[in-house]
Amino acid sequence: MDRAGLYHVNDGDALLVARVLGGDDDAYGILMARYRDRFGRYALHLLRDQGDAEDVLQETFVRGFRYLRHCENPGRFGAWLFRILVNRCRTAYRERERSSRTLVTAEHGPEAITRDGPAGSGWREEIDRALGHLPGEQREAFLLKYVEDLSYDEMEQLTGAGISALKMRVSRACKHLRDLLLEVYDGKL
């Protein structure tokens, strides 16, 4: 799915939404198929757990169906549903962080990024591991900017955060990632 399909008016989505609201539940399956892969990748990148990402994706589609009549602009269904996904990811992330804080002790802290990753670990795996060490808001902003390729205006609409805050989060995420990766590769970037 290209950016135009998600962030600009899409007459195909508007027609499918009208069909669903008219009682054609199969039309919602078409909408789900249209957005499943892209939304699933985003949830997995943000949550870093396949099971959590699948749960959030399923919750997103269920909520989208349940509240479809509240979608004010059916031609922008993709953006409306993505907003639900972002909010569900945030909730899942906060819940996981809250429960993990009670389990982490000084002796058994989070896994540190080391040069000794799993066998066959390459650059992409190191970046993925480093992304996992970013605070939630920084990781979200980084992924929206560089993985989803959104403008700051689009990010503002999705997250509710101001553009200056988003720019700061992206900047801090980039610096944090650079520092983590420099650590891993002994400054050989």
Each residue of 135-165: pLDDT tens digit? 888 988 998 888 888 889 888 888 888 999 9
B/e letters for 161-188, b = 16+ CB within 10 Å, e = fewer, are: beeeebeebbebbbebbeebbeebeeee
**Both structure tokens of 143:** 């992924």
**146: its two tokens:** 């560089």
Residue 137 exposure: Cα atoms within 13 Å on the Cβ side: 12
Contact 40, 54 (CB under 8 A): yes
pLDDT above 50: residue 106: no
Residue 4 has pLDDT above 70, yes or no: no
Number of C-alpha atoms within 13 angstroms, CB side, residue 65?
A: 16
The amino acid at residue 126 is: E
pTM of the model: 0.65
Separation between Cα atoms, residue 53 and residue 59, nearest integer Å: 10
Mean pLDDT over 53-77 rounds to 95
**Amino acid at the residue 181:** L
Distance CA 5, CA 35 (A): 10
